[in-house]
Chains A and B, each alone.
Chain A
Amino acid sequence: MNLWLIPTLPLIGAAVNGLFGRRMPRMAINAVAVLSVVASFLLALNVFNNLGDQPIVERYFTWIASGALTIPVEFAVDRLTMVMLLIVTGIGSLIHVYAVGYMAHEGGYYRFFSYLNLFMFFMLVLVLANNYLLLFVGWEGVGLCSYLLIGFYFLENWATSAGNKAFIVNRIGDFGFMLAMLLMFNQFGSLDIPVVLEGAKALPVEHSAGMLTAIGLLLLVGAAGKSAQIPLYVWLPDAMAGPTPVSALIHAATMVTAGVYVVARSSAIFTHAPIAMDTVAIIGLATAVMAALIGVLQNDIKKVFAYSTVSQLGYMFLALGVGAFSAGIYHVMTHAFFKALLFLGAGSVIHALEGEQDIRNMGGLRSKIPITFVTLMAAGLAIAGFPYTSGYFSKDEILLAAHHHSPWMFWVGVFTAGLTAFYVFRCLLLTFFGEYRGHAHHPPHESPPVMWIPLAILAVLSLGGGFIAIPHYLEPVLGHAGQAHDPTLVIIATSAGLIGIAIAAWMYLIAPGVPDAIARTFKGLYNFVYNKFYVDEAYNAAVIQPVIEGSRIFLWRGVDAGLIDGIVNGVGKRSRGLGGILRLAQSGNIRNYAAWVVMGSILVIVFLGFSGGAK
């Protein structure tokens, strides 16, 4: 099947644009970037046609062979990978097309597309990898590309600090992933995904913490870093500093779902470690609620959708945690449709308003950019779970599974669904209805076809994509997870969404004074939520400042006296000649240093001397 071609084509695209892009005409850059991804998509479709129940495995070469450690470079496609492959290449193609229009007026054009293609390469390696180490290569690679793309507007300082934040938080996640890999290797003697999973299945279910629980929890740390779950979600909203197509592709549709993919891929480990499973569910649910609450009061259109992404990712984790792995992947797909559309539509709005992102300065755009309006409304209905849109199917699947696992999770999930519908429609209504409140110099204009055609395609998928029966398709891999269809629960879940939409319509169309009145009445609570529960501030005070300042004060002043100080204070110009050298030896630093050496030696000697007796 030549699976290797699927990631390699974007890599070639990245290389061509990166190395020669500076001297290439724009049309050529576009062609290389877009066609390489579209070709990958076509190849993926070809694989789809040939894929039966059994996975396709292709082995290319032995990467590492040293003693006990044997790691081949292998790609494998089963149905789970197939779904991810189609999402990544399909949505990726649409977003590449859109980016051609969106980035038309930006500098560093070739660099942007080179990074974007490179991202596709790593993402495809991630989903195709048949062992955890190769998966980790993709995992780190997408993180790196995300970092490069967030910082793309690099002359603006907030872009680089957001990029930094993303990278550091992801490093913490990677720490978990790496430790999980080491433990897997220790336990199963291999990092091949099938071998590890077979090994996990052979072990008994751990009702108290054990090795599988440890591996599962560490994988969760990694997944929480990449998929922006509590407590590592803080980077994702800031990551919206990058260009909008990047937000859509990386921070909504693909990369952030990598954590979901890895947990689903490792489902055998999690099903044998109920403690880890429950942790996944609780973290997912908590993230879903918290991010939805924050989303209610955001005013930056991209921030609203960013928190909505965090919240929806929480839903996916909830699905995984309650054992509905296929529902989680189902939601990955539908979310990819409607969230990519929301971001691209937001981009179209921002494009039309010359960079304005604050929804308080929008309004009444319905008639000025009608295509964007229609498509965004479609996405809004899908995310709100309006009957028979894509979100309706996947969200119900998750909520039913949650009810089956423990009913309170269902009720919290329903509440979140209502919140979601409310804040998404709040944002859309403020943007498209009412009077225009902005100050753009030119009247808002509709985006060119290169941008709105992808929007239209995504709108169709958002509305109709739910009819693709993903859970059924995934049964050979993830088992049968469908719950008995309970009409009552479905009606409850759906009406929560409808009620959310209705409240939004009431507060922002019919009685526009209400939101302010509520804000005034619950001022403390309002501020608490408005400031995102002060999580960033808390992290800054509890983690970042102590580490940086502690290093500066304790280690720099304490351990490191500094050469510069020595030159300035101690020696001056008199260090030439023997007398100068002897004087230098007398100056503070060397004595102090020698004292360090002596003290250290005393400790070592005394320790070894004492411990010597106590055999």
Chain B
Amino acid sequence: MYDKFIPTAADYVRFAPEILLTVFGTLIMLIEAGRKEDQRRPYGILSLIALAGAIYLAFPAYNNAGPAFQGMLIVDGFGTFFRVLCYVAAALAVLCSGQYLSREKADSGEYYSLILFSVVGQGVMVTANELLMVFIGLEISSIATYVLAGFLRDDQRNNESALKYFLLGSFATAFLLYGIAWIYGLTGSTDLSLIRAALGSANPPNVILTGTAAALMFVGLAFKVSAFPFQIWTPDVYQGAPAPVSAFMSAGPKAAAFAILVRIFMTAFEPIAARWEPILWVTALATMVVGNFAALAQVNIKRLLAYSSIAHAGYILVAITAQSQIGISAVMFYLAAYTFMNVGAFAAVTHLAGKDEKYVNIEDLAGLGQRQPVTAALLSVFLLSLIGVPLTGGFFGKFYIFKAALDSNLVWLTVLGLLNSAVAAYYYLRVLVVMYMQDASAEVPAPKPVSGGILVALVGSAVATVILGVFPSVILNFAGKSGTLNP
């Protein structure tokens, strides 16, 4: 009876990346505690080492794919993909953070620890095969992110951002937890495979109660991916949070939430798919419309990117609505492309915002093409990819998503989605126009040339964005293989 108390070596191998990250997160805090006043702070480097190590360890874990810790986790292609994606997103955010934090005089170990812990949470989420693990992972990731959003405590915007995120986020998590409780009551299990078996059995639990449980969990997860009508927090929080944190928030936690949304609804709730499909259909459309049209009226670039991220969440929901293997692959590919182009755009904003983020309006970018051709060119790559111009990752992402939708006969969703993406060109283009076709304003000082970590993050994201556009097979093959979620 006691042998199940002892985890096997395979369990540890499959969980090794998260263990490594936790160790480094703790280590950073210990170093901070013992640091003398005049010593350097090596946290950025340590975090990067930890994330690189975690990426490295994700591969042996994948080669030993399978469930771990009594079926609490499952390491499969899908989980591994998102695991690595979250690590990469965090690494990009860390690269942007060093200069930002020293500019704001807020360099401290806790920041990096929180990022690493948040990634641990995301790693747990995306490999979870059990609703309790989902919940704990989500909470770890979220709480760390709430704090990061308000990291500059003396900044009004940070305070407001963190508070809104925290209150509304907790509210949404309560919905998720309540849904888990319902499901447990209905099926007697929190294991995704067992729930699926119970719902798909010849004698399933009451359909209305199951539907309500699914609805409650959907609300919780829809909040995290900022789907309409739960997107309401996104613009405020992204605008108020420190720019590198916005970069991080818009990528890692979002990708993880999408991963778990797909996993729960495509495995556990797959037997009742016919009933949640209309909800997803409406949500996908409304999210695209609200994101794209509200973005038209924005003047603040962080807020613009927030709305853009809502719109992109809408496209991804279209792929989930397709409920097919190619749909799941499309979600994976799109999130990879989205991570690079969006984090890249936020990285550029991080650099250009200046001390105290004074210059975050679109107008402040005037003349950037002349003042800083490199930053402007890199930002243009991200914007073009966000528009969905061919030879960028954004184009292929959209192409696959709408192909998946059309394959599943979602004709109107495809048509309306494509129209939306035509509208979207307008607001991204405005940024390009301001950068290249307006004279620099005398009130905005010329930004310093981009260098160091931000430059690495920018170039890395731009290269990845272009590679995903020119050689999409790099990711697509893997996504195609992993699109089958076998419960």
A touches B (Cβ under 8 A): yes
Tell me the A residues contacting B by CB distance below 8 Å. 62-69, 133, 136-137, 140-141, 144, 151, 154-155, 159-160, 163-164, 167-168, 171-172, 174-175, 178-179, 182-183, 185-186, 547-548, 550-552, 555-556, 559-560, 562-564, 566-567, 571, 573, 575-576, 581, 584-585, 589-590, 592-594, 596-597, 599-601, 603-605, 607-609, 611-613, 615
B174-202 CB contact bits vs A (8 Å, 1 = yes)? 01000000000000000000000000000
For residue B437, CB closer than 8 A to chain A, the reply is yes
Contact A609 B156 (CB under 8 A): no
For residue B41, CB closer than 8 A to chain A, the reply is no
Provide the residues of chain B in CB contact with A68, threshold 8 Å.
Answer: 326
**Alpha-carbon distance between A174 and B389 when the two chains are bound, in angstroms:** 10
Contact B406 A183 (CB under 8 A): yes
**Alpha-carbon distance between A124 and B218 when the two chains are bound, in angstroms:** 49
Contact B293 A604 (CB under 8 A): no
Provide the residues of chain A in CB contact with B215, threshold 8 Å.
Answer: 601, 604-605, 607-609
Provide the residues of chain A in CB contact with B159, threshold 8 Å.
Answer: 575-576, 581, 584
Other 5 A-B pairs with CB < 8 A, given A164-B433, A555-B297: A182-B406, A597-B168, A597-B232, A599-B229, A601-B215
For residue B399, CB closer than 8 A to chain A, the reply is yes
Contact B223 A615 (CB under 8 A): no
Do A175 and B296 form a contact, CB below 8 Å, given A590-B163, A608-B279, A612-B212? Answer: no
Contact A178 B402 (CB under 8 A): yes
**Alpha-carbon distance between A603 and B218 when the two chains are bound, in angstroms:** 12
Do A609 and B212 form a contact, CB below 8 Å, given A179-B414, A566-B236? Answer: yes
Provide the residues of chain B in CB contact with A63, threshold 8 Å.
Answer: 471-473
Report which of B172, B216, B437 forms a contact with A151, defined as CB distance below 8 A. Answer: B437
Of B67-75, B312-320, B418-426, B442-450, the one with at least 4 CB within 8 A of chain A: B418-426
Provide the residues of chain A in CB contact with B172, threshold 8 Å.
Answer: 597
For residue B102, CB closer than 8 A to chain A, the reply is no
Do A585 and B163 form a contact, CB below 8 Å, given A174-B422, A547-B293, A593-B233? Answer: yes
For residue B439, CB closer than 8 A to chain A, the reply is yes
In the A-B complex, the 4 residue pairs with the smallest Cβ-Cβ separation, listed nearest first, are A612-B211, A600-B229, A154-B437, A608-B211
For residue B259, CB closer than 8 A to chain A, the reply is no
**Alpha-carbon distance between A608 and B277 when the two chains are bound, in angstroms:** 10
For residue B327, CB closer than 8 A to chain A, the reply is no
CB contacts under 8 Å to A, within B263-319, are 275-276, 278-279, 290, 293-294, 296-297, 300, 303
> Could you give 22 example pairs across A and B, Cβ below 8 Å?
A64-B472, A65-B477, A140-B389, A144-B389, A154-B436, A167-B425, A174-B422, A182-B406, A182-B414, A550-B293, A562-B236, A566-B160, A585-B163, A594-B171, A597-B171, A597-B219, A597-B232, A600-B229, A604-B222, A605-B215, A608-B276, A611-B278
For residue B371, CB closer than 8 A to chain A, the reply is no
**Alpha-carbon distance between A163 and B430 when the two chains are bound, in angstroms:** 11
**Alpha-carbon distance between A601 and B214 when the two chains are bound, in angstroms:** 11
The distance from the CB of A493 to the nearest CB of chain B, in whole angstroms, is: 40
Provide the residues of chain A in CB contact with B296, threshold 8 Å.
Answer: 547-548, 551-552
**Alpha-carbon distance between A136 and B396 when the two chains are bound, in angstroms:** 12
**Alpha-carbon distance between A163 and B222 when the two chains are bound, in angstroms:** 38
**Alpha-carbon distance between A607 and B395 when the two chains are bound, in angstroms:** 34
Do A593 and B418 form a contact, CB below 8 Å, given A563-B235, A613-B208? Answer: no
The distance from the CB of B155 to the nearest CB of chain A, in whole angstroms, is: 10
Query: For the complex, would chain B's binding face be called helix, strand, loop or mixed by DSSP majority?
Result: helix
For residue B390, CB closer than 8 A to chain A, the reply is yes
Most buried by B among A548, A563, A615: A563
Contact A186 B406 (CB under 8 A): yes
The distance from the CB of B268 to the nearest CB of chain A, in whole angstroms, is: 15
**Alpha-carbon distance between A15 and B212 when the two chains are bound, in angstroms:** 58
**A167 nearest in chain B by CB position:** B429
**A141 nearest in chain B by CB position:** B390
Contact A590 B477 (CB under 8 A): no
**A152 nearest in chain B by CB position:** B437
**Alpha-carbon distance between A160 and B479 when the two chains are bound, in angstroms:** 40
The distance from the CB of A568 to the nearest CB of chain B, in whole angstroms, is: 10
For residue B240, CB closer than 8 A to chain A, the reply is yes
Provide the residues of chain A in CB contact with B156, threshold 8 Å.
Answer: 567, 571, 573, 575
Contact B399 A178 (CB under 8 A): yes
Contact A590 B207 (CB under 8 A): no
Provide the residues of chain A in CB contact with B389, threshold 8 Å.
Answer: 140, 144
**Alpha-carbon distance between A471 and B276 when the two chains are bound, in angstroms:** 57
Most buried by A among B175, B216, B293, B391: B293
CB contacts under 8 Å to A, within B51-76, are none
For residue B261, CB closer than 8 A to chain A, the reply is no
Contact B168 A590 (CB under 8 A): yes
Provide the residues of chain B in CB contact with A559, threshold 8 Å.
Answer: 232, 290, 294
For residue B6, CB closer than 8 A to chain A, the reply is no
Provide the residues of chain A in CB contact with B418, threshold 8 Å.
Answer: 175, 178-179
Do A556 and B297 form a contact, CB below 8 Å, given A171-B425, A186-B406, A567-B156? Answer: yes
**Alpha-carbon distance between A608 and B168 when the two chains are bound, in angstroms:** 23
For residue B415, CB closer than 8 A to chain A, the reply is yes
**Alpha-carbon distance between A573 and B154 when the two chains are bound, in angstroms:** 10
**Alpha-carbon distance between A594 and B167 when the two chains are bound, in angstroms:** 9
Contact A596 B230 (CB under 8 A): yes
Report which of A171, A175, A571, A608 forms a contact with B212, defined as CB distance below 8 A. Answer: A608
**A603 nearest in chain B by CB position:** B229
For residue B329, CB closer than 8 A to chain A, the reply is yes
Most buried by B among A66, A67, A151: A66
Provide the residues of chain B in CB contact with A550, threshold 8 Å.
Answer: 293
Provide the residues of chain A in CB contact with B407, threshold 8 Å.
Answer: 186
Contact B164 A136 (CB under 8 A): no
The distance from the CB of B108 to the nearest CB of chain A, in whole angstroms, is: 19
Report which of B163, B210, B396, B402 forms a contact with A612, defined as CB distance below 8 A. Answer: B210
**Alpha-carbon distance between A596 and B423 when the two chains are bound, in angstroms:** 26
B74-107 CB contact bits vs A (8 Å, 1 = yes)? 0000000000000000000000000000000000
The distance from the CB of B176 to the nearest CB of chain A, in whole angstroms, is: 11
**A595 nearest in chain B by CB position:** B232
